[in-house]
Structure 1
Amino acid sequence: MTEVKICGLRTAEAARTAARIGADYAGFVFAPSKRQVTAAEARALIAAMRESGEGTKAVGVFVNLERETLVRIMAEAPLQVVQLHGQETPELCRWVKETFPGVRVWKASPIASGDSQRADLQDAVKLRLDRYAGVIDALLIDTHDPVYGGGSGKTFAWEVIPAYLAWCRQHGIPLLAAGGLTPDNVGELAGRYAVDGVDVSSGVETDGMKDLDKMRSFVERVRRIV
């Protein structure tokens, strides 16, 4: 089954809805962003989410994470996944896993506009990612954003997905895809490329706020995929 992550939650209503509609993961952004939350806000949102069920896991999203920052946030907000969207090293990924046993580490890999044209894409993926083998629990591919690291709301060339999927299969970890996904296009991506998970933020928003009907529609479209 393709898993669903709804990212950038900022209200208790949206957090409760994410759990109620069966999202597998709820993302809380700690990096500079219009969706950024504090540790205290995340704690309250996670508590609200738990009111609607225990099945949705809390994901903290960071860009160029500093160790002291994560220690402080984890003391307040019970995150189950740490998603790293910057230039974090394999050593930092390993430190997260060793310091917070049971917490999963996801590493984001940005997809540049020219990647789909590379004849050596498979080799480039290996060169970029092999050093993370064994120290991350999932890989997330997202459209490159030079400012925020991700969350641009823009799609990338989906033709690159098989190269990343092959790397993930080789190392026994899931592949998640983000970048410009909406209820209208997520079924095509997940159905065509068999990714293990999809990640959405702006695609389920209206006027910059989470749209509860769009959230439901997104999850429903994914669940229809056989």
Structure 2
Amino acid sequence: MSSVKICGLQQPEMVRSILHLPIDYIGFLFAKSKRQVTSEQAARMIEVLAEQRSAGRSHPLSVGVFMNPSQSELTSIMQEAPLDVIQFHGQESPEQCQWVKDTFPGVQVWKVVSVVQGYPSLSDNALASDANGQSGVPTAEELNHVDALLTPYKYVVDAILLDTFDPEYGGGSGKTFAWEAITAYQAWCSAVNLRLFVAGGLLPDNVGELLDTYAPDGVDVSSGVETDGVKDLDKITRFVERVKHRDTSAG
């Protein structure tokens, strides 16, 4: 069954309002963003999840989204807001991913790949390519590129997340990328037993098509479940239902 991550939450009240839904992860943005939170704000939301855990109820895992943070920044935030997952959205090295594993045992590390015009890239200065004409089967060139790009991260991350490249923030643009690019990543992740998440412009109305066509291990949404920049409970509910009910009917 595909996992669901709702990203960009900012208030404990919104966290409480969605706990009845089968959401697997909630994300807090520490990277530069209009949805950016402080460690104090994240700690209050994590307390809500801790209350659920203490009561023996299921709850989402917490994900902190970072872009090129320093080790001291991560340490300070983790002391106040103990996250379950650290998601790297910048040009973080495999060594930094390993440092997180060593420093915070049990914490997952996710590495984001920003897709530029359909072409795989871990940075904004990689080559761009027109995705038109790509088939459902990745080419040898695409597979080789993904392998060279991600192999250094193979043993130091728990998941890869694809997002649309944004020149200002790196991701979180609310725009889709050419989904044909997914197939090469999917092949690589499957071969090395890593989970693959997809973000970028997902909505209640298009997530079903993504799942039907590519069936990633998880989906990540933020602006697609907002109204006028504010998280919308109805849209969140419809998004989660589209993912979870589709999985049930397909199974």
Distance apart, 1:114 and its partner CA: 4.6
Matched letter for residue 88 of structure 1 = E
* Structure 1 CA distance for aligned equivalents of residues 67 and 115 of structure 2: 16
**Which of residues 192, 203, 211 is equivalent to 2:232?**
211
Matched letter for residue 90 of structure 2 = G
Corresponding residue number in structure 2 for 1:12: 12
Corresponding residue number in structure 2 for 1:100: 104
Q: Is the 8 A contact 2:118 2:180 kept in 1?
A: no
Q: Is the 8 A contact 1:6 1:18 kept in 2?
A: no
How high is the sequence identity, in percent, across the aligned residues? Answer: 54
Q: Is the 8 A contact 1:16 1:50 kept in 2?
A: no
Alignment of 1:198 onto 2:219: yes
Matched letter for residue 74 of structure 1 = M
* Structure 1 CA distance for aligned equivalents of residues 216 and 25 of structure 2: 15
Distance apart, 1:106 and its partner CA: 0.2
- The equivalences for 1:102-117 within 5 A come to 102-115=106-119, 116=131
Please give the secondary structure, in 1, of the residue aligned with 2:161: strand
Corresponding residue number in structure 1 for 2:204: 183
Distance apart, 1:109 and its partner CA: 0.4
Cα distance per residue 1:145-196 (max 9 Å; x no partner): 1221111000000011110001101110100000000100011101210100
* Structure 2 CA distance for aligned equivalents of residues 199 and 7 of structure 1: 7
Alignment of 1:135 onto 2:156: yes
Higher Rg: 2
Distance apart, 1:19 and its partner CA: 2.3
Q: How many residues align?
A: 226
Corresponding residue number in structure 2 for 1:3: 3
Corresponding residue number in structure 2 for 1:88: 92
Matched letter for residue 181 of structure 2 = V
* Structure 2 CA distance for aligned equivalents of residues 93 and 18 of structure 1: 30
Q: Which ranges of structure 1 fall in alignment gaps of 5 or more residues?
A: none
**Which of residues 66, 71, 90 is equivalent to 1:67?**
71
Matched letter for residue 192 of structure 1 = T
TM-score computed with the length of structure 1 as normaliser: 0.96
Cα distance per residue 1:11-34 (max 9 Å; x no partner): 222211332212100000001110
TM-score computed with the length of structure 2 as normaliser: 0.87
Please give the secondary structure, in 1, of the residue aligned with 2:64: strand
Provide the alpha-carbon RMSD of the alignment.
1.3
Please give the secondary structure, in 2, of the residue aligned with 1:48: helix
